Amino acid sequence: MTSDQNDSEKTISFFKKEVNEFVQERNWLNYHTPNNLAQALSVEAGELLEIFLFKDYSVNDILKDQILKEKISDEIADVFIYLISLINSLKMDLTHIFQLKMNKNRQKYSSQEFNDGSFYKK
């Protein structure tokens, strides 16, 4: 995969296949258990958070700093890769579970109740 490809050209199936092939080629399937993958996902999310620790970057700060932008991009990709591997290990369909959860979110945070920019956790 070349880096000039973008989101509009790829499907979730593509990412699931790419991650699965990467894991299979290295014989790492035994390590990619749901427990290990959930932990790895959290570790990578922590690495993403660490970049922002005690900083107050604006979007412009990030966009104009190529090194910072690459660090953030790498951690976002790590989170995504482990999320895809977790989905693969549980044989889930991301589109299906996404739609189910979005329906729950629409009911929980109805646009009738949350239409003025206010937010509170329900």
Enumerate binding residues for Mg ion (CB under 5 A). Answer: 44, 47, 78
Q: 15 vs 82, which CB is nearer to Mg ion?
A: 82
Asked if 44 contacts 82 with a C-beta cutoff of 8 angstroms, the reply is: yes
What DSSP string describes 50-66?
A: HHHTT----HHHHHH-H
Separation CA 36–CA 68 (nearest Å):
28
Closest contact distance (angstroms) between CB of 75 and Mg ion is: 5
Closest contact distance (angstroms) between CB of 32 and Mg ion is: 16
Q: 77 vs 102, which CB is nearer to Mg ion?
A: 77
Closest contact distance (angstroms) between CB of 48 and Mg ion is: 8
